[in-house]
Amino acid sequence: MKVLFATGNNHKVLEVNDIGGEFGVVFKQVECPYPELRSDSISVVAEEGVKFVYAKIGKPVVVEDSGLFIQALDDFPGTYSAFVFSKIGNYGILKLMDDTSNRTAEFRSCIAFYDGKTLKSFVGSVKGDITEKPAGENGFGYDPLFIPNGCGKTFAEDQETKKKVSHRSKAVKKFINWYSSKKS
């Protein structure tokens, strides 16, 4: 089964295909930038985004919105994660947390599908802690800062664990489950 995935982020494409491969689903990247609505909800951003992309390409498609929600920063950077990463990066986030002992954070992902009739979205999340220093070379974005609960390593150090427990893997598995049953 092939699914169109509108994103400019190649890491997302690799990660969803890593999961999709286990279920016979291939996500094909489509370059179709869409405006991201100002909202604190990844679901709102993803759903509005996928409707925009569908209107442009006229084919069933998914988009994914995701972000890092840090409790001590009132959920910042949240839905602004991509923009904030491009501006201040991981060291900027650590600086904001200099005197903060509460390191609790959550990654969230929402995959939204639209085919002109059915609009469906699937969310996944993973809780963890923000490190004191970046660690690890793999993955992307905030991976070097995030240690999922129950694991002693960051996502950037342990991509196998990321594949099992990540926000994106949970959301994409929910999507695949629904999509496969819709197709059969």
Residue 181 C-beta: closest distance to ligand ITT, Å: 25
Q: How far apart are CA 113 and CA 54, in angstroms?
A: 9
**Considering beta carbons, is residue 68 or 176 the nearer one to ligand ITT?**
68
Catalytic residue among 40, 65, 75, 99: 65
Residues near ligand ITT, by CB under 6 A: 7-9, 12, 64-68, 81-82, 85, 107, 139-143, 155, 166, 168
Shortest approach of ligand ITT to residue 142 CB, angstroms?
4
Listed residue (111, 126, 94) closest to 47, CA to CA: 111
Task: Identify which of residues 24 and 152 has a Cβ nearer to ligand ITT in the complex.
Answer: 152
For the CB of residue 51, give the shortest distance to ligand ITT in the complex, in Å.
15
Q: Which is nearer to ligand ITT, 113 or 142 (CB)?
A: 142
Q: Which residues have C-beta within 8 Å of that of residue 46, sequence separation ≥ 6? A: 63, 64, 65, 110, 111, 112, 121
Distances (CA, A) of 50 to 4, 54, 158, 167: 11, 6, 31, 19
Clarify whether 65 is annotated catalytic.
yes
- Using Cβ positions, the residue closest to ligand ITT within the complex turns out to be 141
Distance of alpha carbon 160 from alpha carbon 70, whole angstroms: 23
Query: Looking at the annotation, which residues are catalytic?
Result: 65
